[in-house]
Amino acid sequence: MSSLQATLGDCTVVPAVAGAWPLAQQLALKLNCPSVRRAVDASSSVVLFVDHDDLWLQQQALEQVSPVRVDFASPGLQHRRRSGQNELLGRAVGVKGGERPSVLDATAGLGRDAYVLADLGCAVTLIERSDVLALMLQHALERASISAISSVQLAASRMRLQLGDSRDYKPTQETVIYLDPMFTDRRSSAAVKKDLSVLQALHGNVDNEDEQLLAWATAQPVRRVVVKRSIKSPPLDGRKPSHTIKGKAVRFDVYVL
Ligand SMILES: C[S@@+](CC[C@H](N)C(=O)[O-])C[C@H]1O[C@@H](n2cnc3c(N)ncnc32)[C@H](O)[C@@H]1O
């Protein structure tokens, strides 16, 4: 992972157990954010809990909801794999027969879509500008690389992480750019809303950012750009896609360049 300093949101590092306090301080220094011994003393809306072999985000106001982790071996992701929910995303990026495009996931987030693509056999470059999320992704990739589940290990070997703003990246090997920007409209699942809510609390939304990302992506030397949208949302920046692949709650707008 590059040592680039990315944007940092409102986050405090807290040890999950008393013995993890030195580790919490060390990570806070690395992330350039505060650390406190107890979550109740944190003034930020989001807390990063650290244990010796785990880390997770918790939104302070939403303590009743479960924490947000990056875990590629999680039952949720493994279910998504078995239930065939991967197919739409695979089709959108151009997985067909023996074809496995190399994908630049320019909005890596919690790495779930990137994992799905890697599991389908695509080489995936993940770019995430939040250093907190990049740290969680790096940790998850390290764990996945020694997972007891061989498919998780294999998928992790196809994923490469970089911290930074995608718009500073020049794709050379990737033939597809995938965007799942931070849109504020609704997605149906409560779990997805909870995860997005933590990401938004960490980084907020800047006006026209998603549109700028699409403009950057379509100017790159790739064959297609795929944008994930909520099923009822208009196309990003009002730009009509070449075609669309629809699921129940989300759709993928495909721009063939
Ligand atoms: C909705 S989340 C993506 C979720 C992801 N598809 C997943 O499956 O977990 C959007 C993420 O994109 C990141 N992001 C937005 N603009 C970015 C940019 N220009 N460069 C890098 N990351 C960006 C945000 O920090 C956020 O974590």
Residue 113 Cβ < 6 Å to ligand 1: yes
| Torsion region of 97: left, alpha or beta (phi above 0 gives left; psi -120 to 50 gives alpha) | left
CA distances from 221 to 87, 172, 217 (A): 25, 8, 9
Percent of the chain scoring above 90 in pLDDT: 72
pLDDT tens per residue across span 78-109: 888 777 667 899 999 999 999 999 999 999 99
Residue 81 Cβ < 6 Å to ligand 1: no
Q: Which fold has domain 75-256?
A: Rossmann fold (3.40.50)
Please give the number of the atom of ligand 1 that sits closest to the Cα of 105: 6
Q: Whose CA is nearest to atom 5 of ligand 1?
A: 109
Determine the distance separating the centroid of ligand 1 and the alpha carbon of 111, expressed in angstroms: 9
Q: Whose CA is nearest to atom 14 of ligand 1?
A: 107
pLDDT tens per residue across span 158-213: 999 999 999 999 999 999 999 998 765 545 555 566 677 788 777 766 678 899 99
**Which string of b and e fits 106-125 if b means at least 16 CB within 10 Å?**
bbbbbbbbbbbbbbbebbbb
Please give the number of the atom of ligand 1 that sits closest to the Cα of 113: 8
pLDDT tens per residue across span 133-142: 999 999 999 9
Residue 195 Cβ < 6 Å to ligand 1: no
Give me the mean pLDDT over the 216-239 stretch: 96
Residue 21: how many other CB atoms lie within 10 Å:
16
On whether the CB atoms of residues 28 and 13 are closer than 8 A, the answer is yes
Q: What DSSP string describes 100-144?
A: ---EEES--TTSHHHHHHHHTT--EEEEE--HHHHHHHHHHHHHH
Q: Whose CA is nearest to atom 13 of ligand 1?
A: 107
State how far the Cα of 169 lies from the Cα of 164, in Å rounded to an integer: 8
Pocket test for ligand 1, best of 182, 192, 203, 211 (most atoms within 8 A of CB): 182
Determine the distance separating the centroid of ligand 1 and the alpha carbon of 166, expressed in angstroms: 9
| pLDDT tier, 2 (very low <50, low <70, confident <90, very high otherwise) | very low
Residue 109 Cβ < 6 Å to ligand 1: yes
Residue 250 Cβ < 6 Å to ligand 1: no
Which DSSP symbol is given to 151? H
Domain boundaries, the chain: 11-62, 75-256
Query: Does position 19 have pLDDT exceeding 70, yes or no?
Result: yes
CA distances from 76 to 1, 59, 126 (A): 26, 20, 20
Does the domain at 11-62 match CATH 3.40.1630? Answer given as: yes
Give me the mean pLDDT over the 47-58 stretch: 94
On whether the CB atoms of residues 235 and 245 are closer than 8 A, the answer is no
Q: Whose CA is nearest to atom 17 of ligand 1?
A: 107
